[in-house]
Structure 1
Amino acid sequence: MARRLRSVDLDFIESAPLRLVFTAEVRAHPETVYRALADDVAGWPSWFTSVTAARPTEDGAGREVRIRGGTVLRESILAADPGERYTYRVDESSTPGPKALLEEWRLTPAGTGTRVRWTFAADGSAAFRFALRLGRPGMGRAFREAVRNLDRRLGGAAA
């Protein structure tokens, strides 16, 4: 059963009760990384192993993402700035606990490659926030592995 989450805007990335921020670098240029994030939604499972399926919805204005363990998320794209950022809000989740979720992928040039910063902004029940804090190291490992996989997939390709 889908649970509707609170609709939040871009400023939630700074005001969320819980923010988890992770960074890593890839050899590919920001435009190339952006295309993998925003234009190849269906390709996410090939590099982000926590994602089992992903597909664009609403003519690209939304996404449906399935996460390992059975969670299904329905999302709305809030910012799609080529080569700079890709931000989406979770509108519905099959998992109890979250009240509001927003994820932002920021891309900045780093030498000849890209620094990727993933911010996971959340609000939810006390148990949900506790579980996220406890799961932070695992989320960090999953992010770093995903970025390594993405780097290999992109082959450090130029834009």
Structure 2
Amino acid sequence: MARRLRPVELDFVESAPLRLVFTADAVAPADALYRALAEETAAWPTWFTAVTHARATDGGREVRLRGGTRFRETVMAAEPCARYAYRVDATNAPGLRALLEEWRLTPTAGGTRVRWTFAADAGAPVRFALRMGRAGFDRAFRDAVRALDRRLAAPGAGPSAAAS
């Protein structure tokens, strides 16, 4: 990894200089979504097309995205059926100073509301580029939630089957 980022705590999700927040509704129950997010790391590329590789590490994850961006992360919150958050400790992405992502799961009458917060600190040009890319982030997030929902609804499928 090329660069270490500033370590931040969970409160950064509310105080970051740049916060991008996205929501989508899923039919799947919160427990199934949580397992897919927090426990079945290696299956992320099957439903989140921006992710090409993901593997669990001791206390965190290593993730690669399309285009070659890599992240080494520390899990900051793992609250079953409610919240999964991780901080990026190192990356090859230029310009980032700190990054924390949080996934919140809220049960609804029809399934689960998924909220993803991308909280970052970066120089002005990178913040501007990230804001300009908001629509792409939103599309990728919504597509990922839909794909995960379909995967979880498939007979015999689910996070455990996906990781096999």
**Normalised-by-shorter TM-score class:** over 0.9
SS at match of 1:95: coil
* Cα distance in 1 for residues equivalent to 2:152 and 2:2: 34
Q: Does 1:141 align with 2:123?
A: no
* Structure 1 residue runs of 4 or more that deviate by more than 4 Å after TM superposition: none
| 2:162 aligned partner | none
Q: Is the 8 A contact 1:27 1:156 kept in 2?
A: no
Scaled by the length of structure 2, the TM-score of the pair is 0.92
| 1:100 aligned partner | 98
Letter in 2 for 1:30: A
Scaled by the length of structure 1, the TM-score of the pair is 0.95
Q: Name the % identity.
A: 65
Unaligned stretches of 5+ in structure 2?
A: 159-164
| 1:80 aligned partner | 78
| 1:22 aligned partner | 22
* Cα distance in 2 for residues equivalent to 1:129 and 1:95: 13
Q: Write out aligned runs for 1:37-116 (5 A).
A: 37-58=37-58, 61-116=59-114
SS at match of 1:64: strand
* Cα distance in 2 for residues equivalent to 1:112 and 1:48: 22
SS at match of 1:75: strand
Unaligned stretches of 5+ in structure 1?
A: none
Q: Does 1:131 align with 2:136?
A: no
Q: Write out aligned runs for 1:4-23 (5 A).
A: 4-23=4-23
SS at match of 2:45: helix
Q: Could you give the per-residue CA deviations for residues 11-35 of structure 1, whole angstroms, max 9, x where no partner exists?
A: 0000000000000011111011000
* Cα distance in 2 for residues equivalent to 1:149 and 1:40: 15
* Cα distance in 2 for residues equivalent to 1:50 and 1:147: 12
- Aligned pair count reads 156
Q: Which moved further from structure 2: 4-13 or 109-118?
A: 109-118
